[in-house]
Amino acid sequence: MSDLVLENIGKTYANGYHAIPSIDLNIEQGEFIVLVGPSGCGKSTLLRMVAGLETITQGDLLIKGERVNDKEPAARDIAMVFQNYALYPHMSVYDNMAYGLKNRGVNKDEIDTKVNAVAVMLGLEELLSRKPKQLSGGQRQRVAMGRAMVRDPKVFLFDEPLSNLDAKLRVQMRVEIRELQRKLGTTTLYVTHDQVEAMTLADRLVVLNKGHAEQIGTPMELYDRPASTFVAQFIGSPSMNLIPTAVKSEYLQLGVDIRLPCPQLADQKLIWGIRPEHVEICAAEEADVMLSVKAVEALGAETLVHGSLQLGDGNTPNFVVRLAGHHTPKSGERLPLRVPKSAWHLFDAETQQRVEKSCN
C-alpha cells in the first residue's frame, strides 16, 4: 500500500483561479519525493495542501490509506520544515522541539528522552538551552528539522528549507537531509526551485508547471528522457539547447544546407534538443554544425562556451556547449561541433511533447 496518495488533487481559489487543475501521485513508504518547478508553479500550494494549511477543493488525499482531506494539520501526523524555519523566538531550542509533543500530552520523561535523542542525532546537545536568536542559520535549520523529527511523523514536508542558507552550507545540509531521511525511513515530500537540490535528493521528481505535473520519474529518467521541452530545459544546468526545426523526406532540416539523416520520422515540425555536455568539438571536416563563439566561462573543471549556431539563411540560434577541462576559444572564433545522434531529444513543435521515435 502506498504511504501517501494524491488522487486527482486540485485547488481552485475562491476567486476562481485554478492553482492546481489535477494531480495524481502515489508515494511509497520511505520514498523521497521532490516537487520542483519555477516560482508560481503551485509546488508550495500542493505541499501546503498535503500539510492541511490550504484546503483541498477537489480529489482525495490519503495518508496510510486514510482520507485526511478534512483533518486539521495536527491530526494528519505530518511534520513540516519551513523556509524561514518558523522557530518560536521566545522558546529555547529544547522547548521548540518539545512543544509539539507537549501539546499532544506526551509525558515529560518521554519528551526528554525523545528530544535528547534527536539533539544527539543532529549535534544540538550543546545548544538546547539557547534561544533561536543566538543560533546561526545552519543551526536554526537543524532545530527546525529536529522539531519535525522528534514527533516521528508519518510524512515529512519540506518547504524550500535550504534557500535561506549560503551556498556552502546548503550543500552540506543537503547531504545531511538525505542521510537523515535514509536513516529514519520517513516518507518525505520536499519542495524546491533548485534543480541541483532536486536531482541530488530525490528518489523521484515531480516537475510542476502551472499546476500540472509535467513529468514524474527518477532524476535520471528525467535527465535522459524529458517528456517535454519544459522538463528538458528545467533539468540540467546549463539547460538543454532547443532549436525549432522540421523533418523533411527523412532528413532533419537544421539549416538550409545542414541536413541530418533521420529516416524513421514522417515529415513534421519538430524541436530539436541536445544537452550542452553532449556536444563534442571535432575536426572541421567532420563537423555537423559550426558555432560562432560569443563568450567563454571557464570554471576550471569545465568550460562553458556560449555562441550562436551558423545555420545559414541568417538563422543563428543561441547555443551553449559544455566542455571538460580548459579550452580557450576566442570570441568570434568558429568552432566545428559534432552532435551525436544518441544524445538527441526531439519534441513536437505544437504540443512540446517528446517524440519517442529515435532517428537511429
Partner 1 sequence: MIENRPWLTAISHLSLLLGIAMVALPVWVALVASTHPTEAFGSGEIPLWFGDQAIQNWGAVLFAKAGNGIDAPVWSMMLNSLVMALGITIGKIAISILSAYAIVFFRFPFRGAAFWVIFITLMLPVEVRIVPTYEVVANLDMLNSYSGLVLPLIASATATFLFRQCFMTVPGELVEAARIDGAGPIRFFFDILMPLSRTNIAALFVIMFIYGWNQYLWPLIVTTDDAYYTLVMSIKRMLSVEQGDVEWNQVMVTTLLAMLPPVLVVVGMQKLFVKGLVDAEK
Pick between residue 84 and residue 218 the one whose CB is nearest to partner 1.
84
The torsion angles phi and psi of 17, rounded to 5 degrees, stand at -75, 125
106 touching partner 1, by CB under 8 A: no
Pick between residue 147 and residue 322 the one whose CB is nearest to partner 1.
147
Measured distance CA(172)–CA(191) in Å, rounded: 18
55 touching partner 1, by CB under 8 A: no
- Could you tell me whether strands 334-338 and 302-309 are parallel, antiparallel, or unpaired per DSSP bridges? unpaired
Sign of CA dihedral 127, 128, 133, 138: positive
Which residue from 8, 24, 29, 104 is in contact with partner 1, where contact means CB under 8 A? Answer: 104
Least distance from C-beta 163 to partner 1, angstroms? 13
Q: Residues near 250 by Cβ (< 8 Å), separated by ≥ 6?
A: 261, 262, 263, 265
Selected range binding partner 1 among 28-36, 68-76, 160-168, 349-357, rule: CB under 8 A: 68-76
Least distance from C-beta 96 to partner 1, angstroms? 9
Q: What DSSP assignment string belongs to 156-204?
A: EEEESTTTTS-HHHHHHHHHHHHHHHHHHT-EEEEEES-HHHHHHH-SE
The torsion angles phi and psi of 127, rounded to 5 degrees, stand at -105, 0
Nearest in space to 230 (alpha carbons), one of 192, 273, 262: 273
x/- mask, partner 1, residues 84-103, rule CB under 8 A, reads x-xxxxx--------xx--x
Selected range binding partner 1 among 70-78, 212-220, 249-257, 335-343, rule: CB under 8 A: 70-78
Pick between residue 102 and residue 182 the one whose CB is nearest to partner 1.
102
79 touching partner 1, by CB under 8 A: yes
**In the beta sheet, which residues pair with residue 32?**
188
CB 176 within 8 A of CB 118: no
Least distance from C-beta 347 to partner 1, angstroms? 39
- Give exposure, 120-131, as e/b (b: 16+ Cβ within 10 Å): ebbebeebbeeb
Pick between residue 7 and residue 95 the one whose CB is nearest to partner 1.
95
Nearest in space to 345 (alpha carbons), one of 337, 353, 336: 353
13 touching partner 1, by CB under 8 A: no
Residue numbers 204-223 binding partner 1 by CB under 8 A: none
Pick between residue 19 and residue 252 the one whose CB is nearest to partner 1.
19
72 touching partner 1, by CB under 8 A: yes
Selected range binding partner 1 among 7-15, 46-54, 232-240, 274-282, rule: CB under 8 A: 46-54
Contact residues for partner 1 (CB under 8 A)?
51-53, 72-74, 78-80, 82-84, 86-90, 99-100, 103-104, 147
